[in-house]
Amino acid sequence: MESSKKRKSKAPAKKAKDSLLEQKSPAEFFAENKNIAGFDNPGKCLYTTVRELVENSLDSTESISELPLIEITIEDIEKSKFNSMIGLVDRDRVDEELYDDHETAKAREKRLAKEAQAQELQAKNASLGKKMKEPAAPKTMKGRGGAAFYRVTCKDNGRGMPHDDIPNMFGRVLSGTKYGLKQTRGKFGLGAKMALIWSKMSTGLPIDISSSMKGQNYTSFCRLDIDIHRNIPHIHIHEKRDNKDQRHGAEIQVVIEGNWTTYRSKILHYMRQMAVITPYAEFLFKFVSDVSDKNVTIRFARRTDVMPPVPLETKHHPSSVDLLLIKRLIEETSKQNLLQFLQHEFVNIGKSYAERLIGELGPEFSPKMPFNDPSGDCLSPAGEYNLRLGIIKELHPELVATYSGSAQVFEGHPFIVEAGVSVGGKECQTSRCFSGLNIFRFANRIPLLFEQGADVVTRTALKRINWNSYKINQTQDKVGVFVSIVSTKIPFKGTGKEYIGDDITEIASAVKSAIQHCCIQLKTKIVKNMQAREQKERKRNLSKYAENVAGAVCGVLKQMQQIQASKKKRYNDKEAEVLEKLSTGMITKQMVKEKLVQHVEQVDSEMAMEFAANSGVSEEPRESIYLQSLEAAEDNFIDLHSPLFVFRLFR
């Protein structure tokens, strides 16, 4: 009996040991590892929140071919106001040592002594007439006690969201509408959810969503937060309200901890780069504070109404699939046989090719059969016109060249590389473009600001391009290098979407080729400008000495006239005729000067024409222009499209 009791007493311990296995929800995992999604610190969290909301708004507006109008507001919330929002009541402190900003008697004595010493030194220098720097502001104690809180609001005129889908779209991590094989800015179903998770972690406040779709007579309003442990939305309010203005789009409002001071420049730089790559969008950015001097309002005006086409969802290429994906496609397909399955689920497999594949499914079947590469028809690059317009709008360069490559493939996914290179322009802080190489990176039409040194674009521009061979001085000239990559699968390093690695040969080669094409265009322009400058300088020098040369020529002629008068030498008829005109006043110094200037002009023009003929300037390649048919035009105009411009013709 005792032995059996012992066995029974040991059984629960063994069961407890077996129950040590735990599970974490996706929301819980990303809350504990928020740096993976770009939420490293309060400042970066504020930047990433703005970025994710703006990109979601752009995807929403472009999905319905609506010209984007996006308003972003960051409102600084005072500590007392924030405390009232979360239900905290101010009260007197009892134990001062528990607070971060508590100053001990020793520290206070040391601070006062240092301030007195600084004031004494400042008074001494003032008496000697020396200029003194203003004393630095005292450092605040680190900790949550000195945290800053902001209300971030993003409003757009996009598609909006279905009423019943809103809770799961914001309150369930790894759920979204962008998981298909399609070019999108977002991919992981994390962005807005991570902003909500950070809001819950730092403030505990819910997120407010207002949304209305086209044709709806109501606006969906939802206030929710997220149950991190179960990865489900916790709904506070979910109701329909009157849509009196009949507007469509979404407005998202979230309160988070952040740091505007340290990430102000990054956020504004991001907005300027977004204006470069999307000149067809209008952005209104505001920072609102109780201190009026800190307020910021910037409007990035729309410069064109020509939008890129809407990206199309495509099928998988045979070279991009694995066993797991094939099994999933077989389970989900509605086709009844293998022939229809191959034709329907993959690109570039027609009926005849599918029959050949099935015929080879024997002992000698080789999985390495050749497939045609996927086309880039499903992609939607910004286009040379928009890229060039954005560069000119924001940087005002002296020279700019753009290039859009053809579709290429890596791992079965099509991609297109567009590039622009600008030279010169005004040196200004707002454009963040200075002397030397200034590299601007875009992936699926979103700016990449972090981890620049490891990016394929940076490494290619710095190490693989010989700028001197294109007459560009990469250290002294103000050079802007813009590279935009679009694909159904951007190979980001990490979920933060911060840079593209340099380990994919196809992308690295395409980036190098695109930059080189731009440099070749610029070289022609730079050589022509150099020739024009040399021509102008030569003309200026020759014209400068025309008067002296005319005087010298007239002096020589007068000496010849004196020699002829003394009969020491006889000149031929032409020379005698010239001397006769000189003596009668028909040839003067002013006349000789004018003839010399005319000769300089004539020779200069002949040399320019000879240079143009030898350098082949008149044989530059021409750009094709495509005219849209009248039957296909839905509006009262048609567009003539070229990589360099769009000419609109009204009917």
Answer yes or no: is 178 a known binding residue: yes
Both tokens of residue 555? 């002096």
Cα 168 from Cα 210, distance rounded (Å): 15
Neighbours of 110 (CB within 10 A): 12
Q: Give the DSSP H or E segment for 520.
A: helix 505-544
Answer yes or no: is 203 a known binding residue: no
Q: Give the DSSP H or E segment for 208.
A: strand 207-212
Answer yes or no: is 148 a known binding residue: no
Neighbours of 604 (CB within 10 A): 15
Answer yes or no: is 56 a known binding residue: yes
Angle at 191 between CA 186 and CA 196, to 5 degrees: 160
| Nearest of 41, 187, 174, 38 to residue 496 by alpha carbon | 38
Q: Give the DSSP H or E segment for 223.
A: strand 218-227
Both tokens of residue 105? 């008697």
**Cα radius of gyration rounded to whole Å, the chain:** 36
Both tokens of residue 462? 């710095």
Cα 228 from Cα 197, distance rounded (Å): 8
| Nearest of 177, 243, 167 to residue 206 by alpha carbon | 167
CA atoms within 13 A on the CB side of 374: 25
Answer yes or no: is 188 a known binding residue: yes
3-state secondary structure of 198: helix
CB 160 within 8 A of CB 249: yes
Cα 562 from Cα 579, distance rounded (Å): 10
**Residue partners of 110: CB distance under 8 A and separation at least 6:** none
CB 592 within 8 A of CB 554: yes
Cα 608 from Cα 521, distance rounded (Å): 20
Answer yes or no: is 191 a known binding residue: yes
Cα 149 from Cα 328, distance rounded (Å): 45
Answer yes or no: is 130 a known binding residue: no
Measured on CA atoms in the order 33, 34, 37, 40, is the torsion positive or negative?
A: negative
Answer yes or no: is 383 a known binding residue: no
Answer yes or no: is 146 a known binding residue: no
From residue 455, how far is each of 83, 267, 493 by CA, in Å?
42, 20, 9
Q: Binding site, residues?
A: 56, 156, 177-178, 186-193, 497
Q: Report the binding-site residues for ATP.
A: 56, 156, 177-178, 186-193, 497
